[in-house]
Amino acid sequence: MKQYDRIELLDRAIELFRRQGYTATSTAELVHELGVNRKSMYAEFGSKQGLFEAALDRYDDHHLSGVLAPLEAPGAGADAIRGAFAGYAAASEGWASGRGCLLCNTAVERAALDPGARRHVDAYLARLGQAFRHALENARNAGDLDPTVDVEELASFFTMSLIGVAAIIRAEAPPALVQAACRVATSVLDCQTGRSTDDVD
């Protein structure tokens, strides 16, 4: 009978991988952090790689879904996009500093080296892009966005902007720098809606 909870193990692994990355995290550190012996860890996940990919799945299903919920909601619009960047701006002064987003971190560290990581990163980029397209299309349909705007291009811009913001949060950039980047990103949206630029700090 198992003496551990798989989800709890994955959440502990997520935090370790977020802090240190895949390469810098040893099997011994994982065993210590998870609080199980090496045999149990390998029996459950097969390998360090298997654990990492399971952690990415868990992160996508639970953590990322929580962040993207406002953008993916049926009624998401321009305010959901502003809210996404405001949330990241606020996170620059909190728990996310030095951790960032596990999938963004993986895109930088592992995607070019590891096919398993690449699949997760590709799905991550597609999901971000779709979330922004969804919100932008809603905004356009509601008359809140210039009808001539290229939604695909704008969604791509916001996707790359959010990834860049997550990366500098991971690098513990000064909060003022993160907040400035978020203001500039949302100012692009404001130019297409006729709204004055909102502060996000």
Token couple for 61: 């299903």
Global confidence as pTM: 0.89
Q: How many CB atoms lie within 10 A of CB 3?
A: 7
Residue 95: what pLDDT? 79
In a domain, 46, yes or no: no
State the first-to-last Cα distance of the chain, in angstroms, to the nearest integer: 49
Residue type, 37: N
d(CA 70, CA 87): 11
Give the model's pLDDT for residue 2. Answer: 67
How many structural domains compose the chain?
Answer: 1
Is residue 7 situated within a structural domain?
no
Q: How far is CA 122 from CA 102, 111, 182, in A?
A: 14, 9, 23
Domain of 160? 51-193
The CATH number assigned to the domain holding 142 equals 1.10.357.10
Instruction: For the chain, list residues with pLDDT below 50.
Output: 1, 197-199, 201
Does residue 12 lie in a domain region?
no
157, part of any domain? yes
Asked if residues 53 and 8 have their Cβ atoms less than 8 Å apart, the reply is no
Token pair listed for 194: 């006729």
Residue 20 token pair:
């240190």
Residue 78 belongs to a domain: yes
Question: How far apart, in whole angstroms, are the C-alpha atoms of residue 89 and residue 176?
Answer: 9
Q: Is 64 part of a structural domain of the chain? A: yes
Helix/strand/coil (H/E/C) assignment for every residue in 117-186: HHHHHHHHHHHHHHHHHHHHHHHHHCCCCCCCCCHHHHHHHHHHHHHHHHHHHHCCCCHHHHHHHHHHHH
Q: In this structure, is residue 188 part of a structural domain? A: yes
- The answer to whether residues 41 and 25 touch, using CB atoms and an 8 Å cutoff, is no
How far apart are the C-alpha atoms of 161 and 107, rounded to whole Å?
14
Residues 6+ apart with CB under 8 A from 46: none
